Chain A
Amino acid sequence: MVEYISDLMIPLAILAILLYGKRKKVNMYDTFAEGTKESFNTVLSVFPNLITMLIAIGIFRNSGLLDFIISLFSPLLKALHIPEEVLPLAIMRPISGSGSTAILSDILVNNHPDSLVGKMASTMMGSTETTFYVIALYLGSIGVKKHRYTLKASLIADLAGMVAAIAISYIMFA
């Protein structure tokens, strides 16, 4: 049932957007084509950070060091029923957007994207944003130096999101 709803979402979203555009008398063909111009530039801007991080992660993973570090946390993760592969993502997610994209790609390549681990990692990725970056960017832009309780509340939110993502993934995909 859930799968059915998920399957419907994208086609319905496309239809809804097209119908609304028609109502507003937008030239949809031209507008759509105009929008796609961004895709090359967007990927181009992402590429340097992505490949730089992925190469580091490739080395990290293949040297055996990642497995070693995970094994240190293994008993705790097992007790909590958390698959150990998602630990690096949970840590990296609030810190770096490109870093977490790289880790997620790494996880999806090494465990099929449709596996439990793959879906869990995907869910975790979308549950929260790059906390430190967003706060620094927005407060920095107006010269605010004291963030008061912003960081604490944001990190609590991130943690809640990660825990929820893990639990929800278990319920839905295990």
Chain B
Amino acid sequence: MINKIWFYMMAVSIVYGILNGNAKAITEGVIASSVQTVEMCITFIGVWALWLGLMEIVKKSGLITVLSNAMYPIIKRLFPDVPKGHPALGSISLNFTANMLGLGNAATPFGLRAMKELQEINEDKEVATDSMCMFLVINTSSIQLIPTTVIALRASLGSSEPTSIILSSLLATSVSTIIGVMAALVLRRKEAIRERKKNYG
């Protein structure tokens, strides 16, 4: 899919550009993009090092476990069809906590483990359960509290206030998550009503 997008973006642009007399601009753009990317990445390495260093301390000091235990009451409510004490609840909490702290690399293994554990209590192995749907909707809506990648990017591209977007991002991502959860609940209900009508209607 990305292959098609990439191909068409470049091919159509080049044809359009040549026809509109922008051939030179295209050449300059290609070179400028290449050079800029390298400069960006160099700054990235530095800012990322700071964040990864801090996150390693967070990991080592067990802060993730503490935070995910604190989350348990909420998790219980969002995933009612998972039995109490089932390991999936723990993995889900860990995935959420890691995501909130911006530890995408730590979050993914927890998330995959959560899916596996949810699959264990799944009756129809080829169909997603309500908990799986909810888990995915929350994940894709992003629950990262501090957008570290964006901040690093802003810093490397000359921003004098890279962290000024923390609050706005936090608000926006909260909205997306809340709407996502609501949408999941509504769609789940509509589907159940449709199923009932099919069976009894």
Contact = CB atoms under 8 A, between A and B. Distances in A.
Given A63-B26, A157-B177, A112 B158 contact: yes
B133 interface: yes
A78 interface: no
Nearest to A164: B175
Interface residues of B, number: 97
Interface residues of A, number: 100
Interface in B97-149: 105, 111-112, 115-116, 118-119, 122, 125-128, 132-133, 135-137, 139-142, 144, 146-147, 149
Nearest to A154: B140
Nearest to B161: A114
B37 A50 contact: yes
Interface string A117-128: 011001111111
A100 to B, nearest CB: 10
Contact of B141 (A43, A129, A138): A129
A32 B54 contact: yes
Interface string A92-108: 00111001010011001
A8 B144 CA distance: 18
Contact of A59 (B14, B37, B153): B14
A105 B41 CA distance: 11
